[in-house]
Amino acid sequence: MSTDQQITADLAVVARASRERPFSLDETLRAVGALPASPRAAAGRIELSLVAMSRVFAMRVARITASTFMLAVVTAILAYCAVPLDSWDDWGHLDHFLFEDPTNLIVKLLWATALVYLAALQLAVTAFRRAMETAADALVRGRQLVHRTDGWSVALTIAAMTGFVVVFRMSRLVLGNDGLIVMHDVLYDPTWLPLHPMWNLVPLAATTLAGVVGGFAIARSLRRAWVVRGWIVLLASAVAFAMLVIGNQYDLDSIQVGERPAPHVIRSPALRVSLLVTSGLATFTLASCYILARRRREHAAIESEELP
Amino acid sequence: MRISKSHATSKSAEGVLATSMERPERFKTLIEPLHDRVLAFARCLCRSSAEGDDLFQEAMLRAFGKLDALRDDQAFRAWLYRIVISVHRSRCRRSFWRRLIPIGGDDATDEPDPATSGHDYRTESWMPGAIDANRRARAALAQLNAAQREAIVLFEIEGWQIEEIAALHRVSVSAIKSRLARGRAELRALYEAQPALSFAVTETP
């Protein structure tokens, strides 16, 4: 078969595929508000549109969050690989972390952007759902709201990140280097506080949380075929988790209640990466299964909906 | 003067009311014969049917909202396709993120999902080869620029005449011919650049 014939044959397949499972005319008319609005029709429209709109909205959100998260992970891994092992201890210094290492700063900003975006998103989604519930012309209004809330989330993120950078830059100007050293001691190495040793686990918990958030975001954003294969990923993540736990047994043993582990243990890149990867994979799998189940329920709900 | 103005206002209000009452019926009458074809066209323009459905809905909303601006019902078909194309172009320009991580895109979700559609494509017309072909062609189409993609889809998939496409885009016939030729050449180059992908579908004996 020549290439031209192949293309023609493939385009014919696309043509056939695009005619699979079309919307019904009533569904389209109902979506644009061109059907008489009996109470039942109105209720059905709102319900259907909520499902449709929430999916569109979730897709946009997941896309942005997952992109930011993936950029952060890739940059972090590159940074980990690029820095010689002897210098791990230097990574803890706040001033170094924020100002002297540009790669590190970018990573931090990316992480922060993803997290702030998620926070801004929650506000937007809450407003979105509330408005959708009271919208009569749900689809039209829903679309406007999607654009608006999406815009607000991005705007809030940009504002928050600008504030973040400005505050730290200003603090450096105001406090000077000496002030920064004090700030570093206060924030990073609070030996002056009578803290319980378990507080040392906070950075690791934060890393795990980041993995959970990232895993969930990626699961939301990936294609359906991957979601279907969630069980394979679950198996792979279990194996990866076992290997990484075994590999980091020394580090894990060192973190025990009642002892203050050495800083290098807490800062151990291997431990952090393993926590990030395993928590991310596990959450990805669980989220994939959950999303798949929810999509099935949504489809069942839509298909069982009787058109008026 | 006041009376006539008031009369004019009430007449205008009646007109708006009448228009808003008639619009759904008019839209339904006009869209009915074209509905499935326009949906298919929107799906072909996008990399996945999910995005195609979204494009279609957005175009329908726009068409319904602007229906009063359409004076001649005979021109509805071209007018509607033009709206789809316009929405498509604006979406192509829109988002960097959309291209960075195509959502539900790579799997070309026209293939019925056995998990959600309730039927198994492997036993019906959706043989794995067809899924590969669909995915491959959509991936290649996505590489074309919007104008070439629209021309190829209209001509090769929708079966439009070149003159009709030229009228739709308000360009010359030779411009459409050029788009078709370049689009086809680009598709050929894309297929030939990836022979493993191109001929992943082997003919079954």
Compare B60 and A100 and report the one with higher pLDDT: B60
| Average pLDDT, integer, range B88-114 | 50
Which residues, 6 or more positions from B202, have their beta carbon under 8 angstroms from its beta carbon? B129
With bands split at pLDDT 50, 70 and 90, how would you rate the model's confidence at A273?
Answer: low
The interface predicted TM-score of the complex, written ipTM, equals: 0.71
Q: Rounded CA gap, B84 and A32, in Å?
A: 15
Q: Rounded CA gap, A117 and A159, in Å?
A: 10
Task: Report helix, strand or coil for B120.
Answer: coil
Contacts of A11 in chain B (CB under 8 A): 137, 152, 156-157
What DSSP designation does A256 have?
Answer: -
Q: Rounded CA gap, B199 and B168, in Å?
A: 35
Q: Which of B103, B120, B127 to mutate to test the interface with A (most CBs of A within 10 A)?
A: B103
State pLDDT tens for residues A103-113: 455 555 666 66
pLDDT reading at A174 higher than 80: no
Q: What pLDDT is recorded for position B3?
A: 40
| Average pLDDT, integer, range A213-242 | 55
How many other β-carbons are positioned within 10 Å of the β-carbon of residue A260?
Answer: 16
Number of DSSP helices (H) and strands (E) in chain B, helices first: 11, 0
Q: Are A88 and A267 in contact (CB under 8 A)?
A: yes
Q: What pLDDT is recorded for position A103?
A: 47
pLDDT reading at A291 higher than 80: no
Token pair of B104 as six digits: 């539900």
Q: What pLDDT is recorded for position B64?
A: 85
| Average pLDDT, integer, range A69-83 | 54
Q: Rounded CA gap, B13 and B138, in Å?
A: 48
Helical spans, DSSP H, in A83-188: 94-95, 102-133, 138-187
> Average pLDDT of chain A?
58
Which chain A residue lies closest to B109 (C-alpha atoms)? A224
| Average pLDDT, integer, range A238-257 | 50
Q: What pLDDT is recorded for position A144?
A: 56
Given an 8 Å threshold on Cβ–Cβ distance, is B191 in contact with A7? yes
Max intra-chain CA distance, chain B: 85
Q: Rounded CA gap, B28 and B25, in Å?
A: 5
Compare A210 and B55 and report the one with higher pLDDT: B55
Instruction: Sort A234 into a burial class: Cβ within 10 Å, 0-12 / 13-18 / 19+.
Output: middle
| Average pLDDT, integer, range B144-161 | 89
Compare A219 and B139 and report the one with higher pLDDT: B139
pLDDT reading at B140 higher than 70: yes
State pLDDT tens for residues B103-112: 343 333 444 4
How many other β-carbons are positioned within 10 Å of the β-carbon of residue A118?
Answer: 19
Token pair of A261 as six digits: 């582990």
- From the list A18, A21, A224, the residue facing B107 with the nearest CB is A224
Given an 8 Å threshold on Cβ–Cβ distance, is A1 in contact with B203? yes
pTM across the whole model = 0.45
A54 touches chain B (CB under 8 A): no
| Average pLDDT, integer, range B20-37 | 82
- What is the per-residue burial (b if ≥16 Cβ within 10 Å, else e) of B172-190? eeebbeebbebbbebbbeb
Contacts of A10 in chain B (CB under 8 A): 133-134, 136-137, 140
A28 touches chain B (CB under 8 A): yes
With bands split at pLDDT 50, 70 and 90, how would you rate the model's confidence at B199?
Answer: very low
Token pair of A166 as six digits: 């400005």
Contacts of A143 in chain B (CB under 8 A): 58, 61
Is the four-CA dihedral A49, A55, A59, A65 of positive or negative sign? positive
Q: Which of A25, A27, A65, A224 to mutate to test the interface with B (most CBs of B within 10 A)?
A: A224
Helix pair B2-31, A25-32: axis angle to 10 deg: 150
pLDDT reading at B4 higher than 50: no
| Average pLDDT, integer, range B44-65 | 81
State pLDDT tens for residues A8-67: 888 888 888 888 776 777 777 766 766 655 555 555 444 444 444 555 555 555 555 555
- What is the per-residue burial (b if ≥16 Cβ within 10 Å, else e) of A188-221? eeeeeeeeeeeebeebbeebbebbbbbbbbbbbb
Contacts of A12 in chain B (CB under 8 A): 157
